[in-house]
Structure 1
Amino acid sequence: MNASDSLFANAMPTQDVSADVLREKYAKGDETTVAQVRARVARALAAHEAEPLRLEMEQLFLWAQDHGFVPAGRINSAAGVGLKATLMNCFVQPVGDAISGRAAGTPGIYDAIAESAETMRRGGGVGYDFSAIRPAGSLVKGTQSRASGPVSYMAVFDASCRTVESAGARRGAQMGVLRIDHPDIETFIAAKDGGAFSNFNLSVGVTDAFMRAVLDDGEFELTHAAEPAEPIRLRPDGRWVYRTVRARDLWDRVIRSTYDHAEPGVLFLDRINGENNLYYAETLSATNPCGEQPLPPYGCCDLGSLNLTRFVRQPFTAQARFDFDTLREVAAVAVRMLDLALDATEWPLPQQAEEGRNKRRVGLGFLGLGSALVMLGLRYDADDGRAFAAEVARELRDAAYGASVELAREKGPFPLFDPEQYLDGAFAQRLPDDLRERIARHGIRNSHLLSIAPTGTIALAFADNASNGIEPAFSWVYQRKKRMPDDSMRVYEVADHAWRLYRHLGNDVSDDSALPPQFVTALEMSAQDHLRMMAAVQPYVDSAISKTVNVPADYPFDDFRDLYTEAWRAGLKGLATYRPNDVTGSVLSIAPPPAAAAPAEPGDVDPLCRRFESRPPGELESVTSKVEYTTQEGKKTVYLTISFMRVEGRLGGRDLAIERPFEFFMPANQRSEGHQWITSTMRLLSLAARAGGSIAKALADMRAVVWEKGPVRCGHLTRADGVQVPMYHDSEVAAIAFMLQQMLIRRGFLEPYGGQVSAERLDRLLAQRATVHAVPAGAAAPAGTAEATGAKCPECGARALHKVDGCTRCTACHYLGGCA
């Protein structure tokens, strides 16, 4: 161990969760330790050096990883293991207006779906700009029909992502972008209101012209190159004006949707392109799924981070300092490793390989900023904390650009390098004079070098849970639950690296309020302080920053709206916020005190569960629904009945009364082929209900049943624009389960996407039953009848999966996925 390293950092035992995440996500074959993974990565990348350098570079790459460089997840999981998987995290794929084929090098919609599926299958996350797709209702002259609009086609991309498993046994990730001036922008803004597009992050591409119209309270034109059914006006630039709207009204729709359920995010397109080093060779209109990499069509980038906690010397003392010399050394080696990853990767598509060769984008950033600040005695939300972060970003920029110049001297600059135009770029003009002079003389190997990505799982596996990317810690200690192969649940205690080190040094951590003042968590600081940190760092980052500005649930809407205006004024390239709310739930939940009873897992058990050995005397209230569905054998009609009973009990110190399903019934024709499975399924559901089992989970499992006879059409979902979309299921069992879910959703027992509603919510619903009218089929449930959570967690099964800090997090078990 280097004598200058933190004296105690490596002396602490590894957290169990870190070891398990390493084994599950990154260790391959016989590997069980971080050292073995690092050795494999160093060997795999060094193999692409010239023969005389390979052994030397392998040792240098291992040194860099041992001293703070953490390659991103794709490199750690796929380098040197022989998989046909990409080492790139970030891609943007073009989508044209045609159904199929190619026009001017841009694939039509279904060709684009095939290309994105291949990219995700190889492990890449994909972003798209859907703005080229013509608006709903516009003319399609070739077929004398009307277009259905980009949002309708996004559903096909969403289904493809849901179906395709990417390399490393994880689902793909996507970012969908639509320009603010697209005529379908309102539909896009509301696209997730009904729970659609669970495999997309959404962002609106906002222009400076629009923001000026917002500030001036002016009007704004929604336009497209495609001709509308009823032409209004053709502009001199060749775009048709579909409508003119009040800019502030449209802006409020964006902000209101974000306030209510954390999407869409906002991309400031003019700032992104104005700061682009390759402004002379490309136009940027979309980003990777987490937003830290604006990329052109077929653009690609690999990622890596420096663990800042590894450069803190004498932490928690008056002599605490940051070792910038070692940071610069490690950063230089990291650039070389990321550049080699471009040669070592498997490219999903030839167009991506060409982009990679011509521009050689890499994205070096950092993780552990929040933890490092605590170790140095600096507050994240104070001027000195921001000044330190800016200094780190500036030193990282200069070290990375200097290393890329040296690589250009050795291996040549990236092919599209033009010294005059490159150095005339807005970002390059801020570089130190000596760097600019060296770039002019020798060129530079990589068009872009810097990006601050989310680092949730690599921070757990390789950095002892140092804080995520640029974020502060959300909590010093929390519990993470994991479902084991035997269906049991294991509970981990997960602690922040700085907090653990402080405890390891013999300090009392039993009372958070007694911790030193630098121990400040994400929700203990203002939203403006989150924004100020981004503004302090962004001038030194040539790509972008993935960061979530967390605000409390009671944050005023007007102040929330101002955050986005302030972000634009501050020169940020985009912004994502997260406010706990009834649609998305809370960001994370802190572990309850040890004496408190553990809450039931959403979707695992019914609230106030109680076993009933027999039917109680008297009448049960029942609901019956006529269900029609279509298979290859023709149209069928069945009747589904669910009986409910009242249950009273005490939960969490409160007396509650709820209504629970008690019996499921579907009459079956005794002579029909399906009589046996219909009868047995209804009886088993009834037994599960009477035993207090999870009806939500049982129905979710039924919806996963597949048969060989083709899809079953049954029921519909209503899109945000009011259009009803038919639902297709993988079997009759799945179709019946869907309709039972819909009945329970309308009753208020399940939330809109099939998850379990809390007992407290059901108690309120039962109290309102006398005054709340029944909800008609297909209509929205009354306010307060169902509390939406999130997508289904692949680890614990709870409907509690949300996008937070650029990662996919489960609020029930603290599963992390979709990070760098």
Structure 2
Amino acid sequence: MRLPAQHDIAQPISASVLADRYLVPGEGDCRDVFRRVSLALAAVEAEPLRERIAGRFYRNMLRGAIGAGRIMANAGTTHGGTMVNCFVQPVCPSNEHVASASDIEQALADARTTLSMGGGVGYDFSPVAPALGVCSVIDRFDQACRQLTFEGARRGAQMAVLRCDHPDLVAFVRAKQGRARWHTFNVSVAVTDAFMRAVADDAPWTLSHHAKPAAVEHAPSQSADGTFVYAQVGARALWRQIVECARESAEPGLLFIDTINATDTLAPIETIAATNPCGEQPLPAWGSCVLGPIDLSRLVHHPFGSQGEPSFDYARLASLVRTQVRLLDNVITATRWPLAAQAREAMSKRRIGVGVTGLADALAMLRLAYDTPAARAVAARIAACMRDHAYAASSVLAAERGPYPLFDASHHLAPGAFGSRLPGPVRAAIARDGLRNSHLLSFAPTGSVSLAFADNCSNGIEPAYDWVYCRAVRLGGHEPRVYRVENHARRLYHAIHGAHAPLPEYFRRAVDIRALDHVAMLAALQPFVDAAISKTVTIAADSSPEQVDALFFSARKAGLKGITVFRPDPKLEAVMQSQTPRCAIC
């Protein structure tokens, strides 16, 4: 539900972000953006369908189903940006186990190309030999990104991943302490099941690499897998350093890499070693994904029980999802690709990521506290609805356009495969017609599009940061400007009940929620999402390393594909801060 008409005035920050990041010359409001994007993406349709499909896309956007930022900014324009948000690129394009100096130079050139067109990039730096120094190589990628010129406020985003058995792991884990290094990077450790077992058992752990050590006092031992042993360390001591750095600096995150590969629909034909910068898309080398969230806060009838019992419109959600699948599939055909290898990979699998925003606001409108079993049950039902209708729509598209080239029904429908849990009629349609897209759901962050197009609804699946707070936003390449920002659900509640009405207890901020309940929401949603979910687990300021340790193990046990924690700390730079009298300048 939208704000009542008399209150439906854009917040200053929303108007500013819309103008700075999404309006092009001649556009005045979000409807103009919707028209431009709808026409551009319908242009790939057969000529008799274009006008009708463009209208369908436009109505979907009016109802809350939008593209991710790159789509909304770049579709139908001539400035050369890509519509694809996320990529993973190899640092060893030659596909060898060890990245040579020439490999790294080529990877840097590829990174510059993709970043300059607006794509965020993730990399597995594990092929970098210890003699070269992983951290030194990442310094070069960070510097290359910082030296690029970007239009407006956008900046390059990157993800550095390193396996838990790499000899440079300790230096990598410590590199972002205090968050003073690698400003364009998030970092994650790819932890294996074997490593987690070694930690639990307090067993020794081998650090090894395919590159032979440059200087050793004696001949290095070589394992059966062809790697050279660099050191034997205590797994628990190594784990403790990961835990303590994550607690202190919110870096590194963890990727449960064996879970990611074991649950990947295309595990028989691809291996995943990294994710995009925010972690919602585990991808193989040259992989990419086009994203598009649906604003769930628009789908609640009688919010807060204002005119009757609140309810969620699952039928409307199903309709939005089906159209969103077609729109995102069109993006793959219509977009400009930074690199030919990305286009080949995308066309062979046609990954897309239908997502959400405003989940926490929708739950509040349903009078459900985010950290309750009832809220998790509704969230899971929403995700199941999205899964079922996304796969149904992709099968319909396959009947019309053909399945993705590498489609094999066994990848989707074999016992234990993701698609084996779909309703019977959807499975039958897939067996008969195939699927247009190998992956269909991805729950990503939605910061700027939620500001520009959704009145600052709660971001992605996150709880609200606060009800009124200050947010620093960089506009037009200038220094950050601080805005007073209000949460959409709070705005709606006060529009209905009066400006001074106290918020009910079911309004829950991120800091009000126990860390284990953040994890529980992730665990409720992940079974229905074939890619992954980006979410930060907020932990208490006084959380101990032991509590973070236990939380990480809980996340793995719950079947999550990754986890990142954030402990509020005034020493760390923050984009958002709770409101103070001097920050309400706009």
Residue 323 to residue 184, structure 1, CA distance change in 2 (3 Å): same
Q: Percent identity?
A: 47
Which of 516, 528, 533 is the aligned partner of 1:540? 528
Deviation, 1:429, is 2.3
User: Deviation of residue 221 (structure 1)?
Assistant: 1.1
Aligned length: 577
Q: Who is 1:451 aligned against?
A: 442
Residue of structure 1 equivalent to 2:314: 324
Q: Matches of 1:119 and 1:489 in 2, distance apart? A: 25
The Cα shift of 1:275 comes to 0.9
> Greater relative contact order: 1 or 2 (C-alpha under 8 angstroms, separation 6 or more)?
2
C-alpha displacement of 1:7 = 7.7
Look at both structures and tell me which one has the larger radius of gyration over its CA atoms. Answer: 1
- Residue aligning to 1:223: 208
Structure 2 vs 1, CA of residues 332 and 552 (structure 1 numbering), >3 Å: closer, same or farther? same
Is 2:285 the partner of 1:297? Answer: yes
CA distance in 2 between counterparts of 1:58 and 1:489 reads 36
What's the Cα RMSD here? 2.3
Change (3 A) 1:813 1:468: farther
For 1:394, what is the secondary structure of its paired residue? helix
Normalising by structure 1, report the TM-score.
Answer: 0.68
Moved more, 250-259 or 237-246: 237-246
1:735-754 paired onto structure 2 within 5 Å:
none
Q: Is the 8 A contact 1:417 1:443 kept in 2?
A: yes
Q: Superposition pairs for residues 146-545 of structure 1, below 5 Å?
A: 147-166=131-150, 170-193=154-177, 195-228=180-213, 229-230=215-216, 231-317=219-305, 318-424=308-414, 426-480=417-471, 492-509=483-500, 514-545=502-533
Instruction: Check 1:547–1:484 CA distance in 2 against 1; reply closer, same or farther (3 A cut).
Output: closer
- Listed one character per residue, the Cα deviations across residues 663-684 of structure 1 (whole Å, up to 9, x for unaligned) are xxxxxxxxxxxxxxxxxxxxxx
Q: Is the 8 A contact 2:483 2:585 kept in 1?
A: no
Contact in 2 for aligned 1:578/1:587 (Cα 8 Å): no
Map 1:754-793 → 2, pairs under 5 A: none
Aligned to 2:62: 66
Of the candidates 552, 557, 572, which is equivalent to residue 569 of structure 1?
Answer: 557
For residues 495 and 533 of structure 1, the distance between their equivalents in structure 2, rounded to whole angstroms, comes to 24
Contact 2:371 2:517 in 1 (8 A): yes
Offset, 1:559? 0.9
- Identify the residue that residue 636 of structure 1 maps to in structure 2: none
SS at match of 1:128: strand
Letter of the 1:293 counterpart:
Q
Superposed CA deviations along residues 429-488 of structure 1, whole A, max 9, x for unmatched, are 222222222111110000001001101110011011110000011111123456889999
The answer as to whether partners of 1:12 and 1:501 remain within 8 angstroms in 2 is no
**Matching of residue 23 in structure 1 with residue 24 in structure 2:** no
Listed as ranges, the gaps of 5+ residues in structure 2 are: none
2:276·2:282 contact (CA, 8 Å) conserved in 1? yes
Secondary structure, counterpart of 2:449 in structure 1: helix
Paired AA for residue 172 in structure 1: G
1:242 Cα deviation after fit: 1.3
Extract unaligned runs of 5+ from structure 1: 136-146, 600-811, 815-820
C-alpha distance 324-225 of structure 1, shift in aligned 2 (>3 A)? same
Distance 1:123 1:395 in 2: 32
Judged with a 3 Å threshold, the aligned counterparts in structure 2 of structure 1 residues 9 and 320 are, in CA distance, closer, same or farther, namely farther
- Contact 1:183–1:242 (CA<8 Å) still a contact in 2? yes
**SS of 2:54 mapped into structure 1:** helix
Greater percentage in strand: 1
Partner Cα distance (2:279, 2:539) in 1: 19
Code of the residue aligned with 2:468 in structure 1: it is V
From 37, 42, 45, the equivalent of 2:41 is 45
Q: Distance in 1 between matches of 2:585 and 2:262?
A: 42
Deviation, 1:6, is: 5.6
- Cα distance in 2 between the residues matched to 1:490 and 1:233: 56
Structure 1 CA distance, aligned partners of 2:585 and 2:409? Answer: 51
Amino acid at match of 2:566: Y
Give the Cα separation in 2 of the matches to 1:360 and 1:67: 25
Change (3 A) 1:524 1:102: closer
Distance 1:93 1:470, change over 3 A: same
Asked whether 1:123 is paired with 2:111, we answer no
